[in-house]
């Protein structure tokens, strides 16, 4: 009952500040985080349960029980229990090691220190010991231990700025306000812990750790059941044969065997024989299969860890395979779900180009040599003359500085606007350097550009903005701030300059701002539009720049109406928006800016290569639609030559369904779309859609917002969403929550029967990473949450190309060859017993001696197949990268599937026939060279065993594509090992020590010294191998695969490197695309004009603009002093409900 009890939904939370004894009675969760799967007590039962979910392990346990029954077992029990225990132990050790590192990572986080107020004094406390209700002191650049409530801050009006990079990869600063009744408690950041550990947003959004298995593991479970069914059929056949033989022939032997009549009837004999043959034939799937698979996967994991081409020297971060069970799944990925910020981009904005008064300034690309009027200078500009310039800023077009020096009025006004129209806050560090605190990295890039060209934003108050213009301090009176929002898509400031002129400066989306221009701007508008199209084509984020001169009288009347509107209770926002629209008209166009949201290195090439590998990439981001679209174009996921880009932005389920229906009409035609509008969501329908997918011509993209996605994920709409999305080359989901990211991944995973991969860098990507078949974490500067939850991690998105196309493809290729060969050799090895049964009276007599049966899979054939499974490769790593199409066989599951299994099975059956009947026919009524009869059981067994070892060794030599020293040593060494052990076990010495265990004394010397025996072995080998050689030669000659062609080219021209395939980049000329994107949030204008984020008076300067903070003692005293009156404001019993 206690185990099944679920946690009730929490409606409210009652907390008393700094009172652990009171808060403990509510049994809130502690602050310890757990990403591990086991602990000391649960490891053994849970791990054994997971291991015995493998049908094969349960199957071998069942066989072990049978072998303990002496009446039916002709094999000793240790032949099964030793390998089974070995497999389970090795797997358990591997799982324990993986979980140990998870515990280690958890401990690193749990043992971080925070300053907690305990017994009226600050004490260092580990994060895991922080309790709900604790008062915590935070300082600048400190990590946050839990979900906190801001009580007070050193900033005026109880404000603090937080960076959520560890959560979502965003470096933008977010503002949080302290409670008004506690904002005066002290100067240092102080917060109240309200949600700890598993109750925090971060952990609530992380989802549960799932037990992941590869598609090959699942296929093996099915195949093991089939094989068991096949063994049952063989056992029934042999049991029936035994019953018939006992009934017709066995009676004649009863007197000879001293059996009494009726002591053993034929039916019961057949029943016992059935179980005996089940034990003998169980080696079709030996336990060593799983041992070998684990060793191969471990080797592949080390190859990933050791790959120097996936090592990021910038942060000394290697790639890491955090699991060893999913490597071959990396070679079957069909869908990649990627976060944007911090994964595709660096979240670093750089000012690249601008258009001022119809003239482009900025870096000139290599392929634009036709613009000879623009000088191309590769050296960046030298801003050392400007002592306050940002040294990290680079600009390559010297003409802009020349225009500044010549006093171009339009350039001045352009740079002045960049220095005035923003929400940036300035301060000086201890070295006296000017530092900008930016809410939006876009604004930081624009203000920094103006700063380097001589228009330096210095400081601001609620009523003024101070700018240093070419060395002269100029203070502008801030008359109004027209804030940005997602509907207006622009921001404006109205300022009065020292000459008394009132100017409105505005920047925003070109599609919006161009509608506000004065008619006299027509010619300049045409030029600027062309420039914006060029910027957008290069993937740059653009803003249009304009201004307006205002009449003093007109402004006063407008400002009076604005003040009146601010006092309204009803329709206040609508009235204010109307006044903004009224004054933001008849603008004079200055130009446009082009900012680059810097992609991570190699992102474009990686996406292009993965697309050629038929991998579909979906971007799931919390960013705004414009930002996500802009990045899509920057990395060529979206291109202007696409047939259509569908945007779904409906606010209701009806609107979303209608938008999806219209998009499907464009893809499939009216009849198909209308018939499928409200189809019940079934896998059969999606299988039909997968056929239709092949008939879609052209490239399409789908862009959907988070609020629309919420409706689209409903049961009666998600069929339409998934059908449309899977037909599109690119899908971008904007403004999505962590839960929605996971829902999208699960939608594709569950209903497309496709292998998925999710990649991200922040805590908001954890649920997505856990939901996908493969989770990849980017180990960047945004924290370790994504890495801790991932299966693989590395430092740069570009390494995903090598992880999939090289390591993933090789792992899948090797595992498939390993499985095919393993099943082949074991069918060939085991089915000889079946044929022998017809010649031994169905007596369950083994054709080989027990030691050969025990050692065949463990010693004689284990190392060669391991070498092939670990080292083999059909083409080199460079060719794997150069020809992404090589990846498609894994997606289509061509190299090992049910059909390939039956081919291997048929091959093994044929080999078993050759192995048994060729020696049987050769030995029939034949005398040896010494005139003695050689058709004895022991000589027959040795001949077949030797033939088997040589045949499977030659076969693996034919299967090996990439030879190393290890392959040679293992293959030929295994044959030598076989003969060494064979002669040892048949020697007089070992017989003298263990006469009951080694009864084949002297047989090898007698058999293998005769030429006819070796001729039989040679004939058996040729008969087994030659048909395979002929079939493979004809297949490679008549219908070679791409891999065959590249391998032949690789052999012929080892030094030649093929050129990478590149898709032509053309743009649609039929329409212009806006490159507008602005990562800004509404509300900062009101903060600035209210003065809440500014200090009441400037503190005395010591070095720069250092902050004067209250010391910790005064803060504690203030807190303790105000506990009795301030906290009582929360409630009479000094509790607070959050």
Catalytically active residues are 339
Neighbours of 838 (CB within 10 A): 13
The residues with which 149 forms a beta bridge, in sequence order, are 192
| In the block, residue with structure tokens 């070796």 | 1014
| In the block, residue with structure tokens 């060529």 | 636
CB 954 within 8 A of CB 1021: yes
The token pair that represents 1058 in the structure block: 């093929």
CB 416 within 8 A of CB 496: no
| In the block, residue with structure tokens 């300053």 | 115
In this structure, what are the phi and psi dihedrals at residue 1124, rounded to the nearest 5 degrees?
-70, -35
Question: How many CA atoms lie within 13 Å of 595's alpha carbon, on the beta-carbon side?
Answer: 26
983 DSSP 8-state letter: H
Give 171's contacts (C-beta < 8 A, 6+ positions apart). Answer: 163, 165, 347, 441
The residues with which 359 forms a beta bridge, in sequence order, are 356
Cβ burial of 692 (10 Å; 0-12, 13-18, 19+) is middle
Q: How far apart are CA 916 and CA 934, in angstroms?
A: 16
Q: How far apart are CA 507 and CA 380, in angstroms?
A: 27
The token pair that represents 513 in the structure block: 């701002």
CB 448 within 8 A of CB 437: no
Q: How far apart are CA 843 and CA 837, in angstroms?
A: 7
| In the block, residue with structure tokens 């058709």 | 935
Crossing angle between the packed helical segments 937-959 and 862-871, to the nearest 10 degrees: 10
| In the block, residue with structure tokens 């989770």 | 775
CB 924 within 8 A of CB 917: no
Going from the C-alpha of 149 to that of each of 210, 495, 744, 1136, the distances in angstroms are 32, 37, 32, 11
Annotate 378-393 with DSSP letters as a single string: -SPP--TTSTTS-TT-
In 3D, which of 703, 1054, 1042, 659 has the Cα closest to residue 876? 1054
In 3D, which of 874, 1049, 880 has the Cα closest to residue 962? 874
H-assigned helices in 458-602: 510-513, 522-537, 552-566, 572-583
CB 359 within 8 A of CB 349: no
Total number of residues shown for the chain: 1138
Crossing angle between the packed helical segments 898-923 and 937-959, to the nearest 10 degrees: 140
């Amino acid at each position: 009952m206690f185990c099944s009890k679920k946690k009730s939904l929490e409606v409210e939370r009652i907390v008393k500040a700094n009172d652990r004894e009171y808060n403990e009675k509510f049994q809130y969760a502690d602050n310890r985080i757990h990403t591990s799967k086991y602990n000391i007590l649960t490891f053994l039962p849970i791990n054994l349960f997971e291991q015995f979910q493998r049908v094969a392990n349960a199957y071998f346990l069942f066989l072990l029980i049978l072998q303990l029954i002496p009446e039916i077992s002709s094999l000793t029990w240790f032949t099964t229990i030793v390998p089974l225990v070995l497999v389970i132990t090795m797997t358990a050790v591997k799982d324990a090691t993986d979980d140990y590192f998870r515990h280690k990572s958890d401990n690193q986080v749990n043992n971080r220190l925070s300053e907690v107020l305990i017994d009226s004094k600050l004490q260092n406390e580990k994060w895991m010991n922080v309790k709900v209700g604790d008062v915590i002191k935070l300082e600048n650049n400190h990590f946050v231990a839990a979900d906190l409530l801001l009580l007070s801050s050193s900033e005026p009006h109880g404000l603090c700025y937080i960076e959520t990079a560890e959560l979502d990869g965003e470096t933008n600063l977010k503002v949080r306000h302290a409670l008004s009744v506690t904002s005066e408690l002290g100067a240092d950041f102080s917060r109240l812990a309200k949600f700890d550990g598993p109750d925090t947003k971060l952990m609530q959004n992380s989802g549960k750790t799932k037990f992941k298995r590869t598609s090959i593991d699942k296929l093996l479970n099915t195949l093991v059941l089939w094989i068991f069914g096949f063994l049952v059929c063989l056992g029934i056949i042999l049991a029936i044969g035994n019953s018939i033989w006992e009934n017709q022939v066995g009676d004649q032997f009863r007197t000879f065997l001293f059996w009494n009549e009726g002591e053993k009837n034929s039916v019961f004999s057949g029943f016992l024989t059935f179980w005996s043959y089940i034990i003998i034939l169980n080696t079709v799937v030996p336990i060593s299969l799983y041992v070998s698979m684990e060793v191969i996967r471990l080797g592949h994991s080390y190859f990933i860890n050791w790959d120097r081409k996936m090592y990021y020297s910038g942060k000394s971060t290697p790639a890491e395979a955090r699991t060893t069970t999913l490597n071959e799944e990396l070679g079957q990925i069909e869908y990649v779900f990627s976060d944007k910020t911090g994964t595709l981009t660096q979240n670093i904005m750089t000012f690249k180009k601008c258009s001022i008064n119809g003239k482009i300034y900025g870096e000139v690309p290599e392929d634009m040599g036709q613009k000879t009027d623009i000088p191309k200078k590769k050296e960046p500009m030298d801003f050392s003359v400007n002592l306050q310039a940002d040294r990290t800023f680079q600009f390559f077009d010297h003409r802009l500085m020349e225009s500044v020096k010549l006093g171009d009025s339009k350039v001045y006004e352009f740079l002045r606007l960049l220095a005035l129209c923003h929400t940036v806050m300035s301060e000086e560090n201890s070295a006296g350097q000017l530092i900008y605190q930016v809410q939006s990295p876009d604004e930081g890039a624009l203000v920094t550009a103006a700063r380097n060209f001589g228009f330096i934003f210095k400081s601001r108050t609620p009523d003024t903005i101070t700018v240093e213009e070419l060395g002269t301090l100029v203070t502008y009176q801030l008359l109004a701030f027209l804030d940005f929002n997602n509907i207006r898509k622009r921001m404006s400031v109205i300022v009065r300059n020292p000459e008394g002129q009132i100017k409105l400066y505005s920047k925003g989306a070109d599609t919006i701002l161009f509608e506000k221009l004065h008619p006299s701007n027509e010619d300049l508008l045409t030029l600027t539009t062309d420039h914006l199209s060029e910027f957008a084509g290069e993937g740059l984020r653009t803003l249009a720049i304009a201004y307006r001169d205002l009449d003093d009288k007109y402004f006063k009347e407008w400002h009076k109406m604005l003040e009146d509107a601010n006092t309204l209770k009803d329709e206040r926002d609508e009235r204010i928006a109307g006044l903004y629209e009224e004054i933001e008209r008849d603008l004079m166009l200055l130009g446009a800016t082009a900012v680059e949201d810097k992609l991570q290195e190699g992102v474009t090439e990686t996406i292009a290569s993965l697309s050629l590998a038929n991998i579909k990439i979906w971007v799931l981001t919390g960013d705004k639609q414009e930002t996500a679209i802009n990045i899509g174009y920057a990395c060529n996921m979206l291109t202007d030559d696409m047939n259509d880009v569908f945007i779904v932005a409906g606010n209701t389920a009806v609107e979303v369904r209608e938008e999806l229906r219209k998009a499907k009409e464009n893809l499939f035609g009216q009849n198909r779309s209308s018939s499928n509008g409200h189809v019940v969501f079934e896998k059969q329908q999606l299988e039909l859609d997968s056929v239709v997918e092949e008939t879609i011509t052209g490239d399409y993209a789908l862009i959907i917002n988070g609020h629309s996605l919420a409706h689209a994920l409903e049961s009666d709409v998600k069929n339409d969403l998934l059908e449309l999305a899977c037909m599109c080359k690119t899908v971008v989901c904007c403004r999505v929550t962590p839960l929605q990211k996971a829902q999208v991944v699960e939608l594709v995973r569950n209903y497309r029967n496709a292998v998925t991969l999710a990649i991200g860098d922040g805590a908001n990507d954890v649920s997505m990473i856990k939901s996908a078949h493969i989770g990849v974490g980017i180990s960047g500067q945004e924290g370790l949450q994504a890495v801790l939850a991932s299966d693989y991690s590395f430092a740069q998105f570009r390494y995903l190309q090598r992880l999939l196309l090289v390591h993933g493809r090789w792992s899948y290729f090797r595992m498939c060859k390993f499985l095919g060969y393993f099943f082949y050799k074991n069918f060939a090895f085991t089915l000889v017993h079946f044929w022998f049964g017809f010649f031994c009276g169905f007596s369950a007599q083994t054709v080989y001696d027990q030691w050969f049966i025990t050692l065949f899979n463990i010693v004689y054939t284990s190392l060669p197949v391991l070498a092939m499974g670990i080292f083999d490769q059909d083409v080199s790593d460079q060719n794997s990268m150069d020809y992404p199409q090589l990846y498609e066989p894994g997606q289509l599951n061509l190299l090992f599937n049910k059909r390939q299994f039956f081919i291997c099975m048929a091959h093994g059956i044929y080999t078993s026939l050759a192995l048994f009947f060729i020696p049987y026919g050769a030995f029939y009524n034949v005398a040896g060279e010494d005139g003695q009869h050689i058709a004895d059981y022991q000589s027959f067994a040795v001949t077949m065993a030797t033939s088997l070892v040589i045949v499977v060794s030659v076969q693996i030599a034919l299967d090996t594509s990439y030879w190393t020293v290890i392959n040679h040593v293992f293959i030929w060494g295994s044959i030598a090992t076989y003969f060494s052990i064979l002669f040892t076990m048949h020697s007089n010495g070992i017989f003298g020590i263990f006469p009951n265990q080694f009864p084949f004394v002297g047989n090898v010397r007698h058999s293998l010294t005769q030429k006819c025996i070796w001729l039989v072995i040679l004939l058996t080998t040729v008969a087994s191998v030659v048909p395979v050689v002929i079939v493979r030669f004809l297949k490679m000659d008549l219908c070679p695969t791409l891999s065959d062609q590249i391998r032949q080219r690789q052999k012929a021209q080892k030094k030649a490197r093929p050129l990478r395939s590149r898709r032509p980049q053309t743009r649609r000329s039929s329409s212009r695309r806006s490159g507008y994107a602005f990562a800004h949030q509404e509300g900062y204008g009101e903060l600035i004009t209210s003065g809440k984020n500014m200090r009441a008076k400037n503190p005395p300067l010591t070095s720069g603009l250092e902050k004067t903070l209250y010391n910790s003692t005064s803060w504690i005293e203030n807190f303790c002093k105000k506990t009795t009156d301030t906290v009582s404001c929360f409630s009479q019993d000094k509790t607070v409900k959050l």
